[in-house]
A and B are shown apart, each in its own frame.
Chain A
């Protein structure tokens, strides 16, 4: 990242307390994922049948679940799954969306056909598409990434396509082209660098919605296997005990809300700093 992009990035947060809060939450999630074994007071899968469904106290801050496992420790370890899903889905969307979008915009003849194919994929509501893919691939964390990523492939491709079409007509791109620049050089030097900022905005929203999507898949029993700690899995398991142990639902749910909210706020702040002409392309929602 160039120093200019860095300055732009940091400037987005300078005058927004909410955005700084969002950034802090995201950093906390990353730290928790890396240091989980040090931070978690208990083994996340250690069973303690005598202390099952106990309310929050000094030893178990978030209480214990139906097997007596420490809810706080599970919630801390679950940050790993949250990061895996978020990073995975964003990477999937970018790796597929950027090449297809740029290529389609630069080579309109084939590009037109490819964009129609993207339109066809958009005819499937995203969670339905994810469910269909899970049926074919089978439930697993990696397949959750693919299934959710497919839904964001379309939006990312459309955004990249629109941005590239616009960039292509900029004077400096036309100048470079008329001076005989090769297409590859043009993409590397003029198109991709200008895509970074808007894609950063898009990535934070995709990251946020991936959290909600993965939680839904886990909750339906079609995501990560139940022994893997994830916030969605914790909610799915404690659902049966909602009247007896309502606190079991509270903490994992709050973790999802905090993470998704933080990412949305960060994305929103970044978007406000964006060049207004590019902002239009991102649309005002999702």
Chain B
């Protein structure tokens, strides 16, 4: 296990270094002088000189990268052009919204996806199975922002059950009650991902139910429900665990759109606004943090998968 973990962590580390080079290159790939890309068009000559010296842009590119990566490791992601503040503190402001949105969404995804996927698999081939699978396919084909806009229209504008947009922190007035601002966005974001988990749970249950040990269990006369819960479901869940990393990435990507629709003060909306404001250091910082998070989650998923199923070999 330990050698597996070390190898896997090493591979993640190497990939991260390579990814960080791409993210570093991002600023240099944007047309124009990187100094003006970083400072904006309104920069004074004094500012330009100071930053050029500070970043060592007259130095070799490898040296610049090491300097940038070293700063990033200590949490210095540069300064936002728009806010005139450190990038890290601006990203931190959006972290609460985004973390809560992702967590609540994940709860919906699992609550909807796993039981319905199980149901479809247990009724394999029936009209119920076909209906549910078709529904999942439909849910995966719907643009999230479109669902979001109709959610706002129906549940906020017409029925008035939920707030339509924004999100005040749970640490401000209203406390945990403020979570109701996240009900519609999280359901919107959950729909396509729940569809994914539903299909995966179903497919994986069907795969496992063809295994020899399931036939043996049935032949021994174990009650059908027990075979499903103890023998099939437990093993089928492995595939769902391995989809966690992927689901998380999809969630982060789609959150960009969902947060924009619901005007949530999260990291996703920050990316979109920063693109429109040409606030490149913020974009770079967000991409870096998301890629690191994504890689770490994938590493954790792989390691826990290995713990759950020791047969897995490193490729």
Contacts and interface: CB of A to CB of B under 8 A. Distances in A.
Interface stretch (B56-64, B100-108, B179-187, B195-203): B195-203
Given A135-B283, A249-B150, A261-B138, A285 B199 contact: yes
A36 to B, nearest CB: 22
Contacts of A225: none
Interface stretch (B45-53, B220-228, B269-277, B300-308): B269-277
B252 A125 contact: yes
Nearest to B192: A212
A257 B18 CA distance: 37
B134 interface: yes
Contact of B294 (A123, A127, A285): A123
A222 B203 CA distance: 36
Contact of B149 (A134, A215, A222, A239): A239
A242 B156 CA distance: 12
Contact of A120 (B18, B145, B153, B253): B18
A253 B143 contact: yes
Contacts of A127: 253-254, 256-257
A136 B280 CA distance: 10
Nearest to A205: B140
Nearest to A243: B157
Interface residues of B, number: 51
Interface stretch (B22-30, B84-92, B119-127): B22-30
B149 A249 contact: yes
A128 B143 contact: no
A216 B272 CA distance: 11
B249 interface: yes
Contacts of A208: 141
Main secondary structure of the interface of A (DSSP, over half): helix
Given A124-B19, A131-B271, A135-B30, A242 B141 contact: no
A286 B280 CA distance: 31
Interface of B: 14-16, 18-19, 22, 26, 29-31, 134, 137-138, 140-146, 149-150, 152-153, 157, 196, 199-200, 203-204, 243, 246, 249-250, 252-254, 256-257, 260, 271-272, 275-276, 280, 283, 287, 290-291, 294-295
25 contacts: A116-B15, A116-B18, A119-B15, A120-B15, A123-B16, A123-B294, A124-B19, A125-B250, A125-B294, A127-B253, A131-B271, A131-B283, A132-B26, A136-B30, A216-B144, A216-B256, A219-B143, A219-B260, A220-B256, A220-B257, A235-B143, A242-B149, A243-B157, A257-B146, A261-B138
- Which 7 A-B pairs rank lowest in CB-CB distance, beginning with the nearest? A127-B253, A260-B141, A261-B141, A125-B249, A253-B146, A120-B18, A284-B203
Interface of A: 18, 116-117, 119-120, 123-128, 131-132, 134-136, 208, 212, 215-216, 219-222, 232, 235, 239, 242-243, 246, 249, 253, 256-257, 260-261, 264-265, 268, 284-286
